[in-house]
Structures are given as structure tokens and as C-alpha cells.
Amino acid sequence: EPEVTQTPSHQVTQMGQEVILRCVPISNHLYFYWYRQILGQKVEFLVSFYNNEISEKSEIFDDQFSVERPDGSNFTLKIRSTKLEDSAMYFCASLNEGAENEQFFGPGTRLTVL
Amino acid sequence: LAKTTQPISMDSYEGQEVNITCSHNNIATNDYITWYQQFPSQGPRFIIQGYKTKVTNEVASLFIPADRKSSTLSLPRVSLSDTAVYYCFVDMRFGAGTRLTVKP
């Protein structure tokens, strides 16, 4: 069964450093998403991406965040200057056209900012 | 934005039916209602989705009243492996989640 993959599984960084979280969505999916989950809290929407542009973003997704689909397979989330409060699990998800909200989630990247 | 409210936790026993209700009073006309399951250290997993009335698949049923201001996820005959957090999802937003604990 096809699945969404994410790398790395765990990233440790120093405050102020840039990080790039990588995702490989399911190959024929057209919609891509990033979410985050702070430890013990609910999953929060960050951004959705379709047709090579952001289609929606939340208030969390400020100027320090950016997304990119550099080639036909990868979908990345960049955090420009990490803060302590960026420590969380980051989940990538993808969706096929016509599947409404049946998003397929990756296993997540745990980001720890020291 | 649709705001969802669901119980923080529920307990059940193996073999019982579990119903988890989510309220979404300001749901928009074009919003679907989706439920996800999450195990510790894993990403959410799609369970079921509906727009109105009743939807059933091999793992769950979803009941949505005519006004669509709430929805109820029904899990028939739960087992220990159904212990997880269940999220109501509307308008790109997850609810706070309901932690279901199934006891033997």
C-alpha cells in the first residue's frame, strides 16, 4: 500500500538555526499539507499546497515558514529561524483529487529546538 | 472557521459499542465532517467521512443530523487495539481529540 514518508524522523537543532523537513507524498496525489502537534496537544493545521502554490495557511504559518515542492516527488517545510516553541511533531499529509478529506499522513518528524 | 468540541476522554470495555459526539455549530455549507484516529507517536489515520445522514464503512459509522451541527462516530464492538485518540476534523481543523481507553 502506498504511503507518505518523512525524513528525518527526529531533528535536533539550536535556536535560530534553519531546518528543512522533508516529505514524499503518495505519487498520484495532488494536494499536500503540513501540520504540527506540540507534545500532548491536538494536531494543528499549518498550510495546504496545490498546483505549486499555497492554497491556505493558518495563523501559525508566519514569515519564518515556507513550503516548496522542488521536484515531482518531494514536499518540504522550511523553518527559517527556529524558536524553542517550534519544538513539535510535524506531519505531512497528501490527498488525492476527489477524495475530499481522506488525507494520508506520514509518520512525522519530531523537531527539538534547544 | 468551524470550531469543534468533543469530550476529552471516554472509557469502554471490549465488545461494547462506543459513540463519540463532536459539535460543530458553525459548520459551513460546503464542509465535510471527517474523523481520524491517532495512536501514540503516529500520524492520524482516516476513519470515515460524511456530509449528511449516515455513512458506514468496514470500521465505523458516522451519524450526522439534518442541521449538521454535530456528528457521532460509532465504533461497533471495540477491542483493546481501538485505544487511541479520535479527532473530529472540519474545515481543515482538528478538534481537541477524544482519548478512548478500551479495557478488558
For position B15, what pLDDT does the model report?
96
For position B1, what pLDDT does the model report?
58
Kindly indicate the confidence band of residue A71, based on its pLDDT and cuts at 50, 70 and 90. confident
Instruction: Provide the CA A87 distance to its chain's centre, in angstroms.
Output: 13
**Residue numbers in A near B42 (CB within 8 A):** 107-108
Spell out the alpha helix ranges (H) of A15-72: none
In terms of CA atoms, which chain A residue is nearest residue B46?
A102
For position A54, what pLDDT does the model report?
96
> pLDDT, tens digit, for every residue of B13-66?
999 999 999 999 999 998 999 999 999 989 999 999 999 989 999 999 999 999
Report whether pLDDT(A90) > 80.
yes
Kindly indicate the confidence band of residue A74, based on its pLDDT and cuts at 50, 70 and 90. very high
Decide: helix, strand or coil at residue A12.
strand
Q: How far apart are CA A95 and CA B101, in angstroms?
A: 29
Q: What is the C-alpha end-to-end distance of chain A, expressed in Å?
A: 37
Quote the cell numbers at residue B85: 485518540
Type of residue at A111: L
Quote the cell numbers at residue A98: 476527489
- Measured CB to CB, residues of chain A less than 8 Å from chain B are 4, 35, 42-45, 48, 56, 58, 91, 93, 100-108
Report whether pLDDT(A53) > 90.
yes
Cis ω before B7 (30° cut-off from 0): no
Kindly indicate the confidence band of residue A57, based on its pLDDT and cuts at 50, 70 and 90. very high
Residues with Cβ within 8 Å of residue B85, at least 6 apart in sequence: B37, B38, B97, B98, B99, B100
For position B2, what pLDDT does the model report?
62
Mutate to test the interface with B, among A3, A31, A44, A103 (most CBs of B within 10 A): A103
For position A72, what pLDDT does the model report?
77
B94 interfacial to chain A (CB closer than 8 Å): yes
